[in-house]
Structure formats: structure tokens, C-alpha cells
Amino acid sequence: MFKRKNKSKPAPATSAARAHDLGSVGLAWCAAALVLVSGCTVIPRLDARFDTDPLGVPPSTPTPTPPNDSMNWRTGFVASSVVADPAGGRLVRAAALPAFTSSPDNRQVFLIAVTEPFTTSPPANIRGRVRLRLNSLGTVGLGLRLLQAEQSLDFIGGFELTNFLPPSGGGVNLLQGFRGDRLSDPFAFPSSGLISAYSPGNVIDINWTLDQPSRTFSASVLGGPSQSTSFPAMFGGNATTPIQRLQVYMWMQRPNTDTVLFIDNLIAEEYR
């Protein structure tokens, strides 16, 4: 048993002190109320929720428009289609084709989404998210690539969702930045740490943020740790900030004939 220590009583507050304290509390409540009423200004720059898109081939310009974002769905190795979500709304189903499952080691990019331009003066606060569900074995990745003066630079970070046989199991790992030509090799990307464990068939929401002053990319899953990685000020003579546009790449690797990925709420936005 711990003994309670005797504490000296504080001196009674004067009327002026009590008034000051009450005034401070009142100001704090007013500030909190103002935040609740006004919130923050959020501007969508990539808004792919698929709920109003027709069933079948995914759109190249997701609704709503604006934002003036675009999506390039590649069809050589992965078949993607808008399908009904049993929980309500719609989402995208992506499944590996026989040409991929017969030779699954290399990554295959199946989506390149391009955001509407971000505010650059002052530089925007940028964040995003995606909802994924991966059935069976394989790896699915999402990477952010800078598009400065309409020129594609290197990737500043990303994450991969993996399902492996035991004892490895599944998980979501943050990726450090990497060169664009790394997408075509079979070797693992450098990781900055585990964001979350993962079980096949579960729905998972992955959130990410970009802090431009510190050039830091971070990602997390609700209730789990946040992992971060930094990116350089220059890529090949091009400044990485202020960020003008982002390319969001999605790829698949080492699928089998039962591998199916479901994608929803592919979002990038700026906020103040």
C-alpha cells in the first residue's frame, strides 16, 4: 500500500484571481466552440469514392468534378472494375490476370492517379487516405510521386500492404522514398517501420500526411503507431517543395489466382 502524502492547502484565491481564472476558462470554451463551428477549410484534390460511378470499367475522371483529377487504369496484368459494395455504395475490385499470376515476381502498376494542383503560396497542408481489403496472398503498394512543372520526379514515400504465409503473416509497412525505376525490379523497397498488422480479408483505412516545411511523409492506421520518412529538398535539380501536384501509384506483386484487392475512398486533399 502506498501512503498518501500530506499536501499543503493552497491559499484562497482572491476575487480578481477567480475572475481571471473564469475568464481564461471562458476564452478556452469560446475557442473550442469556434473550432467546432468553423472547423478547417478542406479542398479535395483527388476524390475517388466510386459511389456515383457506373458499374464496370473504372472512370478516368472520377466524380465529383471538380476536383480536376484523373486516373489511368492499366489493364495488361490487373483487371479493375467498379462493383457494388455489400456494405453500401461502390468500390473498385482489382484482380491479377493469368499473365501476372504465371510470372508474379515483378511489381505491376495498375493505377496512376494525378491530383488537381495544390496551393503553393503559401504551401498547402496535404493529407490523404485509402481504404483497402486484400484477399489471399500478395503485396499491394501505394506510392506518392512528385509532379513538379509537369515533370515526374522520384517517389517521396508510400506504404505496402502484404499477405504472406505463416509465420510472416500480414502487415502494412511505411516505405522510404525511392527512384521511379525501382518499380520495375522485384526487390523489396526500404521500410521505415510497421504501421499495422493485417489479416487477409479485413478492411483497413490507411491515413497519410505530408508536412512540407520538414519534408516529412507520415502514415498510420487508427489506433496504431505513426511512421515517418523524410525526403530531400531537391531531385535532379528540381525543388521538391512547394508541392505542385502528386501522382498516386498503386501496384501489385506476387499475387496468386485467388488474389483480389478492393479499393475505396482514394483521397488527397489540402486543408487549413
**Is 34 part of a structural domain of the chain?**
no
Residue 27 has pLDDT above 80, yes or no: no
Residue 189 has pLDDT above 80, yes or no: yes
**Is 116 part of a structural domain of the chain?**
yes
The residue with greater pLDDT, 202 or 34, is: 202
What is the model's pLDDT at position 142?
A: 98
**Is 137 part of a structural domain of the chain?**
yes
In this prediction, residue 202 has a pLDDT band, given cuts at 50, 70 and 90, of: very high
What is the model's pLDDT at position 106?
A: 95
In this prediction, residue 169 has a pLDDT band, given cuts at 50, 70 and 90, of: confident
What is the model's pLDDT at position 165?
A: 86
**Is 10 part of a structural domain of the chain?**
no
Quick one: what percent of the chain has pLDDT higher than 90? 81
Residue 215 has pLDDT above 70, yes or no: yes
* pLDDT tens-place string over residues 236-259: 999 999 999 999 999 999 999 999
The single-letter code of the amino acid at 219 is: A
Range of 241's domain? 42-271
Distance CA 195, CA 137 (A): 19
Given a contact cutoff of 8 angstroms between Cβ atoms, the answer to whether 233 and 239 are in contact is yes
**Is 27 part of a structural domain of the chain?**
no
Residue 241: CATH number of its domain: 2.60.120.560
Q: How many domains, in total, are found in the chain?
A: 1
In angstroms, what CA-CA distances link 179 with 27, 33, 146, 152, 154?
50, 46, 11, 11, 5
The mean pLDDT value of the chain amounts to 88
What is the model's pLDDT at position 37?
A: 37
Distance separating the N- and C-terminal Cα atoms of the chain: 50
**Is 189 part of a structural domain of the chain?**
yes
Average pLDDT, stretch 101-117? 97
**Is 77 part of a structural domain of the chain?**
yes
